[in-house]
Every structure is written in C-alpha cells, then in structure tokens.
Structure 1
C-alpha cells in the first residue's frame, strides 16, 4: 500500500532553519515535488498527493515561515527559498524529479534554475505565475502583457504596507479572495485562508515585496528540460504570459477557462482536469 511508505520530518538547511516535509507513494516511484506559492502550504496540494501517490513518490514541504516549518525573522526572499529547495532535494536525495511550482513556487523554481545545478531535475511545471509582476515604465503594452506585469511600481510597497498595517486581515482576505473564482466553495476558501494565515503578516509582507520586484525573463531560454505551463483565464495574471514562457522553453501552455475553475488555484478548483494533464506530461 502507498500509505505504508508515508513519511514526514524536517530538513535542516544551512542557516539552521527546519523545513517540514511529507512524502507519500511507493519509495521506488518516480519523484514528483510540489512547491507551494506565497503564504500557501503543502496541504493545499492534497488533491494532487491523493491522486499521484498511487504510482509516484510525492514530496511536499512548507517554505520557511509557512505552515509547519520554522518561522524565523529572516530569509524571506525568493533566492533564499531557492536555496531551501536545493537543501530539500539534496537531503532527501531526490533524483530525476519533476518539480511543480505554483505561483511564487514557480518563481522559486526559476531562481533555483538560475543558481543551482540541474542534475536532479527531469521536468518542470509552472502553475499560473508571470515572469515579471511589476511593470517597467519603459515597456510597450505588448512587453508588459508578455511579462505578465500586473502591478505598477508603487503597488509593490502598497501591498506590503497593507499587510503590515492595522487592517492587515482585511487586506490579506481580499487578496486571497482574488486567487479563486466566485464559484469556489466558501468552506474551501475559509480552509485555504486558514492555511495561509499560518504565516505572519510580516512574513507575507516581506516575501511579497521581494517576489513582485523580480524579473525572471532571462532564465527561460536557458531551461533545457521539458516544461508544462498552466494558466487560468479567471486569474489575475494574463494567459499571454504563460504562452510566452512556453514559447521560450519549447514547452506547452495549458489554459483553463474561468468557467471550468480557471483561477489562480486551478489545480484546486478543477483537480480532475489538472491531474489528468499533469499525468500525461509525467508519462510522455
């Protein structure tokens, strides 16, 4: 039984922080690693873990400051999270792994590809994340759309300030609501929000300020493993950004319509379609 090989524990990274991880599925199965997004937890991939653990060795973990991992007062930048990912892959000795990053988790993958060896990676999957979230005022409208830039420069600080202010809970809840379609089950949304709020407002603010400032566009032409890119028409990010990434990497883009749960959380709102497409990618 797959459940007989369930395992969880901690990976201690170079600066002493412990990251909580979970593994499920046959120990000899192909490795699939799910990397959560901004203020998301490993638990938000439970519909994928349940599906893929029959054949695959599924690994999930919580970023520092998230979920059940340690919550230090430092290290809340994408490059540090990329180093944490490298520590997880090395400590658990995950080889020929397919890495699946959602939202900020995709940005962690791009930073990891930029900074670390690629010898443990067989394929990459990016779920609904733009290459550069903040508009450069010198860009043409077409460049801004391809980059998926949805914020003006000042908004980088506005969002972080809102999360640090007295109305932080309202600001956070409004942002979290924008991740889903209006049809999402209210109980699902409340559960997701509770998972997110295992992080502190300061952690959320520090990470979002770093995350939205980065431009990863130069990374994509250097990716030389098969890639799959997911996007949703009901997401804040333009689908043109996913199509641009797929073109740069020689991969393919899968776009979910809003009516079929095509939100920022498309893997949660339409797990049947998401899991089917991901499984096809894993087996080809």
Structure 2
C-alpha cells in the first residue's frame, strides 16, 4: 500500500492509504497492528465498488510514534481529524480490537451524524468482567494489566491463515517499524479499563459485531450481548476463528462485511 500523511492538531504525522472510489470505508487495526493488515478486506471492498481508507493510528504502522497522546480519547480525536482532513461524508467505520474502541471513542466525542455504520471485529465493549458483564477478557479479574505487556501475549490466531495471507502478513510485519509497547502502555491500560456500553445504548446507527468463535481474548457470545445493547445492532460469529478473524477467515469476513454494507446503501 502507498501511504500518505497528515498532521494532527497536536503536530503528529499520521499515515493513511486510499484505494478505490465510491462509498468510503475506513479501516482501523488493533493494538500493535497496522492498517495494511486489512489487505484481504481492502481488495474485496474496492472490487465491489467502495473506497477503502486504511488508517494507521498514532504509534502504529507507518504513523509517527510520539511521546504524547496515548489515550483512547486522543485516538478518537485523531480519527475525527482524519475524516475532516479527507472530507469524508458518512463513512462506514471498520475496527478490529482496539481499532473498534477507537471508533467507540470517536462516536462518544463527536456523535453518529457523520457515520453511516460501524462494523466491529472481535471487540467487547467492556474488557474487565463485573457482576453485570461476563463477556470481557477471560480471567480479567485476576490479571495484573500493569505488567501484562512484559509477558507472553495471547496468540491472536486460532488457526494460521491459509493461502497467501500468512506470507504477505509476515512480509508486512517485517517491513514496517517495530511497535513500541513501552511508550504506548498508557493507551493499552486506557483501552483495558474502558466501558462503552452506555455509548452503545445511545447509538441509533447500524452496527454489526462479528466475533471469532475461538477468540483467546473473550467469549464469542460478547457479539450477541453487545448487539443487544444497541437500537440497531446485529451480530455474527465465524466458526473456527480466533481474535484475528479478518485474517484467519478472510473470505467469510469479507462476505459478512459486504452484506452489512449493502444494507446501508
């Protein structure tokens, strides 16, 4: 992908890539990932007549890694500034993991008027389990998140992607800048402690939750529970897939995404 950059209001250079034309769809990756990892979905939606915008959040992918702005609030603001910079009208927002939380942050701050719909990939709205929410991270009540990143992180895959997806993914990961876990730790902790359930109850726009059946992060049932919070929520679960469902089951993810986008046209 060919990346361009724009400068945020706090003087950070953020990367994005555009392919195709038509109804815009913006893709946001999870923590430590990069927008280019959505290549199976980008190729699919462009072929179907959409404009795909891949966005690297600050400190991710080919964007600048500043010492400031590591909060979900700022990441939501960055998304708003990207949409404004590109003059995007009513985009469809697609987010995987923390990319989904960035969408939630944006909607919480700026509302849903300039969003046609959201497609959420394997992200629960509340990560820490509680008496009124059992769809968070497995064993979250006993995890020391302050030291979580120094240990071995869960494998996002249930099964490795088939065909040409894995070789291309490995090439991309080797080529791009190394992710800075230390600098972005405040962002990680903010993400872990966020609770977007009240926001979901306020949204009237279409929002679809797609879960991997065998996600190592949280129960797949979070998708149905999350959709139930929304006025216009739907959900689906892809079998034999983990947290990185869009890579493990690219064909099924693409089909579900296009079914959702067609509903919005």
Question: TM-score normalised to the size of structure 1?
Answer: 0.83
Alignment of 1:58-73 (within 5 A): 58-73=52-67
Query: Which of 36, 40, 61 matches 1:43?
Result: 36
C-alpha change, 1:181 and 1:121, in structure 2 (3 Å) is same
Structure 1 residues without counterparts, runs of 5 or longer: 1-5, 163-170
**Where in structure 2 are the equivalents of 1:107-256 lying within 5 Å?**
107-136=101-130, 139=131, 143-147=132-136, 150-152=139-141, 154-160=143-149, 162=150, 171=151, 174-175=152-153, 178-184=155-161, 187=167, 190-191=170-171, 194=174, 198-235=178-215, 236-249=217-230, 250-256=232-238
Residue 97 of structure 1 corresponds to which residue in structure 2?
A: 91
Q: CA RMSD in A?
A: 2.2
CA 1:135–1:194 in 2, change beyond 3 Å: closer, same or farther?
farther
Q: Tell me which protein shows more helix as a share of its residues.
A: 1
Aligned residue pair count: 257
CA distance 1:194–1:78, change in 2 (3 Å): farther
1:85 counterpart (72, 79, 82): 79
Q: Distance in 2 between matches of 1:151 and 1:49?
A: 33
CA contact (8 A) 2:135 2:218 kept: no
CA distance in 2 between counterparts of 1:274 and 1:115 reads 28
Q: Is the 8 A contact 2:214 2:220 kept in 1?
A: no
**Cα distance between partner residues in 1 of 2:122 and 2:172:** 17
Aligned partners of 2:105 and 2:170: how far apart in 1? 31
Higher mean alpha-carbon deviation, 116-125 vs 203-212, is at: 203-212
Decide which moves more: 51-60 or 150-159: 150-159
Contact conserved, 1:37 with 1:101, CA < 8 A, in 2?
A: yes
- Among candidates 16, 19, 30, match of residue 21 of structure 1: 16
2:185 and 2:196 mapped to 1: Cα distance? 20
Greater C-alpha Rg: 1
TM-score by length of 2: 0.89
Deviations 1:179-223 (A, max 9, x none): 001444675674575478622121342322121111111111111
1:112-154 deviations in Å (ceiling 9; x for gaps): 1111132220111111011111234xx1xxx332455641265
> Using a 3 Å threshold, how does the CA distance of structure 1 residues 134 and 120 change in structure 2: closer, same or farther?
same
